[in-house]
Amino acid sequence: MLFKIPPMKTLLAKPVVDGMKKNLSSRIANFHQHSGRVPKLAVVLVGDHPASVIYTTKKGHTAVELGMKHETIKLAASASPQEVHEKIKFLNQDPSVDGILIQRPLPSGFSEEEVLYWVSPEKDVDAFHPENTGRLVLGLPCFKPCTPAGVMKLLDHYGINPSGKIACVIGRSSIVGKPMAALLLQANATVIQCHSKTPHLPSVTSQAELLIVAAGKAGLVDASYVREGAIVVDVGIHRTTEGKICGDVVFDSVAKKASALTPVPGSVGPMTIIMLMENTVWAAERREAARAR
């Protein structure tokens, strides 16, 4: 062999998260010094969907660990949309609350469109409000949806610059696929957006120097989808029948071809949570700056 293949890089969240935690802790301390209070995240949990309870608890723990306040408002699965909306109106008005998120999924009976408008744009740390989506696409300052923003931070930490690269996003959800494409475009990538209606998916995805998989299908992507030397980010998270956690990507297969790959768990998941914390701190800083003006 004439040249040595460099080893595949595993893009772990831990070093990125550790750095961000340090930075956020110091921003929170600074915020406290200036405002006499600490940022507060309020999470509204309707019902007791087991995964939602786990996620909500994790978010609360991280907030507290960083020195923020946190409150989970628990409502019964039988709570009416009106009740939930009233609760959120109250939180929108509460001056001690900086960030509000409504844990998904909501029970049936909630209008997905209406709910998007409930959290006021200044406290919308999940970045689901249509105005936030618009600002993101237009490149105006705004909250960035946590998962795609977390992917961008991860890439940045590992020195991966999307500019000038062919990037492909599999998936077009409002939460991940669409904002991911918007952020990559802003970072000057040429962006290909694929989805369930894309014919011959591997022939499209295997062009990508940077492949983001957010299909929501366990084990969809194997080596045949991947260009030699590509950087592959796996946004999927699934639990197998044997109770193992896996992603949309078949790790062992893709690892032989990619130059860098995110493991599941240990990468996009933790990045999502830390981005939520950053959004909450930014919400607090912005609110305080607006008050000072």
- Contact set with its own copies (CB under 8 A): 113, 116, 129-140, 163-164, 166, 172, 174, 178, 181-182, 185, 188, 190-195, 197-199, 204
Distance CA 185, CA 196 (A): 21
User: Nearest CA to 59 among 281, 280, 276, 283?
Assistant: 276
Q: How far is the CB of 234 from its own copies (least distance, A)?
A: 20
What letter represents residue 17's amino acid?
V
User: Nearest CA to 214 among 256, 172, 174?
Assistant: 172
Largest CA distance in the chain: 68
Q: How far is the CB of 215 from its own copies (least distance, A)?
A: 13
**Exposed (0-12), middle (13-18) or buried (19+): which is 272, by Cβ within 10 Å?**
buried
Q: Which is nearer to its own copies, 11 or 175 (CB)?
A: 175
Is residue 24 helix, strand or coil?
A: helix
Catalytic site residue 59?
yes
Q: How far is the CB of 7 from its own copies (least distance, A)?
A: 27
Q: Which is nearer to its own copies, 172 or 257 (CB)?
A: 172
Catalytic site residue 103?
yes
Instruction: Tell me which of 87, 103, 193, 234 is the catalytic residue.
Output: 103
Distance CA 213, CA 215 (A): 6
Instruction: Tell me which of 59, 144, 153, 257 is the catalytic residue.
Output: 59
Instruction: Tell me which of 124, 126, 234, 248 is the catalytic residue.
Output: 126
Prior bond to 199 cis, omega within 30? no
- Report whether 265 contacts 11 (CB < 8 A): no
Distance CA 146, CA 62 (A): 14
Buried b (16+ CB within 10 A) or exposed e, 170-198: bbbbebbbbbbbbbbbebebbbbbbeeeb
Q: Which is nearer to its own copies, 46 or 192 (CB)?
A: 192
Residue ranges with strand state E in 106-221: 166-170, 190-194, 210-213
Q: Which is nearer to its own copies, 94 or 131 (CB)?
A: 131
Q: How far is the CB of 124 from its own copies (least distance, A)?
A: 11
Distance CA 170, CA 178 (A): 10
Q: How far is the CB of 93 from its own copies (least distance, A)?
A: 21
Q: How far is the CB of 184 from its own copies (least distance, A)?
A: 9
Distance CA 135, CA 131 (A): 6
Catalytically active residues are 59, 103, 126
